[in-house]
Chains A and B, each alone.
Chain A
Amino acid sequence: MKPEELLELLKHALGGLAKEVTVRKGYVEVLVDADSVVPVANKLKELGFDHVKSVTATDYPKESKIRVTYHVSSYLREDLAKPILGLSVDLPRDNPVMESLTGVWRSSEFQEREVYEFFGVTFRGHPDLRPLLLIPELAERRVLRKDFVVKEESIYEGVPHRYQ
């Protein structure tokens, strides 16, 4: 399915729920409000998007927001297997809370745990929300946010002995 056809399909299916739909270089991204993410996800699942490929979060400290993106695609409908659709939600940086989509797509369970430990995004309704990869002490520091700085080797300061 071409991105343009997918765009038509989405506009028809989502109606006014989507805040913004963008197509760039074959990558379709749907931006929605935090309240309407579950109905949109349900609509997408009805269309045939049956699994989550990745749950990505990006930190924008200047705009004081964290954008959580679900990249969804389909296994069972072969025409939908080609495109990857991004479903994005903007959350405030000081208190990022959103509804968990594990009820819609179970494949997002482990990756939501990852976003939780790396960015501190809380998913309401997640069955088992605890750190996946990190030890609890590190998980509290939200390591993938931009204000957690990792020092790189430089010709002026030399090699940092270790991370502090």
Chain B
Amino acid sequence: MEGQKLQGMVVRRVEKELYEVFIGPQHPGSGHMRIIVRLDGDVIVEADPDIGYVHRTMEKLSEVREWLKPIPLLERMTIIDACNITVPYVNALEKLMDKSPPPRASYLRVLLCEINRVASHLYGFGIFGVFLGHSTMYMWAFGDREVFVELAEILTGARLTHSYPIPGGVRRDMPQDFPEMARRAVRYMRGRLEEYRRIFVDNPVIVKRLEGVGVISRNKAAELGIVGPNVRASGIRYDVRLAEPYEVYDELDFEIPVFEEGDALARTWVRVEEIKQSLSIIEQAVDWLERHKGEPIIPKEDYDKLPKLHREVYEKTGRVKLLPAHATMKIPAGKAIARGEMGRGEIIYYVESDGGTTPYRVRVVTPSARNAIVFKYIVPGHRLMDLPAIYGSIDYFPPEADR
């Protein structure tokens, strides 16, 4: 049978009673990927994720640029979670250079990481709403996300692309009136979460579409190696902030929400609970930062190298002006592996240096890249209309997966 063209997809009859449907990369949901599914009636028999539509060659470009330049480059992978994705890279550099940031810089990084995590989860909810045809959720989540985008903008000067951490510290100190704004945002968001529960998570229509859909058992999750809220919804208590506390996460008080069901609804609940924990971390970080005003945000050896004018700017405005020597710095030869917990899960950097001005090899494995395998092994057996629910619930973000 000849290929028949429908809106935005190609349908072919591949065998008797088996149809092949090409979904994407232009499709009603969000995301630049294609899934090729084979259908028997409307039950999915086989699914083949075809990713790579946003492959922008981060690993190759990192190899030809100087050590600092990959920071703004790599954060384009997950532009909505920019601090979380750059902190592990900077940690890897710090491991190679044997440098450690002062505590105030670490707290500032954690503060921005958690602000990003809340914004990233809200983005996920908004997109999930689009997938399920729930426009209210899209409007509410994106409206509330602006609160946290605004907070990050006040802290760093950019809406999304912060480029905040630098090896040994951060770029800017916190403005004076920031703590009060952060506390107001946290209070506002706590109240909104209750409304989210009423309109979205406990909504009977949403519950019917999510409950028991895309179930990943505990052993299956470990076998597929998926990460983040998806693995915590399957009863595995794994979070990098707990397993290998980086920055100052071991000094903070927070819980790792774990659910046992492993279905799309549990994955949604994990995100709601994580937002609550992140809000609590934001409060703790802001309290600590207020108690320790005036502490340095770059190491002493870096401060000593600054010329007089740069020192004045740093002391008056809290902004770090990097010297030209930073751009061409050399890093001792060696290998380092660093990981961090992003909104969507664990990110791993493997950085290798040969002592030159550019990295020898940067390997980055992002959470969505590891979650892509879910489409191949979990989706078959479901109906076609369960696919948007599963896609939205694992919070897959293609630019991050394709790198």
Contact = CB atoms under 8 A, between A and B. Distances in A.
B402 interface: yes
How many interface residues does chain A have, given as a range? Answer: 35 or more
Interface residues of B, number: 45
A76 B236 contact: yes
Contacts of A131: 52
A56 B350 contact: yes
Contacts of B238: 75, 81
A53 B365 CA distance: 8
Contacts of A41: none
Nearest to B361: A58
B227 to A, nearest CB: 9
A152 interface: yes
B243 A106 contact: no
Main secondary structure of the interface of B (DSSP, over half): mixed
Contacts of A24: 334-335
B337 interface: yes
A51 B334 contact: no
A155 B55 CA distance: 28
B223 interface: yes
A84 interface: yes
Contact of B60 (A56, A81, A105, A143): A143
Interface stretch (B17-25, B144-152, B366-374): B366-374
B127 to A, nearest CB: 22
Interface string B363-385: 10100011011001100000000
Interface stretch (A10-18, A30-38, A107-115): A107-115
A54 interface: yes
Nearest to A50: B222
Interface string A91-130: 0000000000000011111110000001000000000000
Given A58-B352, A78-B237, A25 B225 contact: no
B370 A107 contact: yes
Contacts of B369: 110-111
B205 interface: no
Contacts of A71: 337, 348, 350
B59 interface: yes
A109 B237 CA distance: 24
B159 interface: no
B51 interface: yes
Contact of B365 (A75, A111, A132): A111
Interface in A35-71: 50-54, 56, 58-59, 69, 71
B365 A54 contact: yes
B61 A75 contact: no
Contact of A134 (B55, B225, B350, B370): B55
Contacts of A52: 225
Contact of B348 (A53, A76, A133): A53
B315 interface: no
A51 B60 contact: no
A9 interface: no
Contacts of A56: 350, 361, 363
Given A24-B335, A54-B365, A76 B222 contact: yes
B221 interface: yes
B243 A82 contact: yes
Contact of B64 (A58, A82, A150): A150
A75 B222 contact: yes
A111 B64 CA distance: 23
A152 B65 contact: yes
A25 B336 contact: yes
A144 interface: yes
Interface in B149-199: none
Contacts of A109: 373, 376
A155 to B, nearest CB: 13
15 contacts: A50-B223, A53-B339, A54-B348, A54-B350, A56-B350, A58-B352, A69-B350, A75-B225, A76-B219, A110-B369, A118-B59, A132-B51, A134-B52, A144-B59, A152-B64
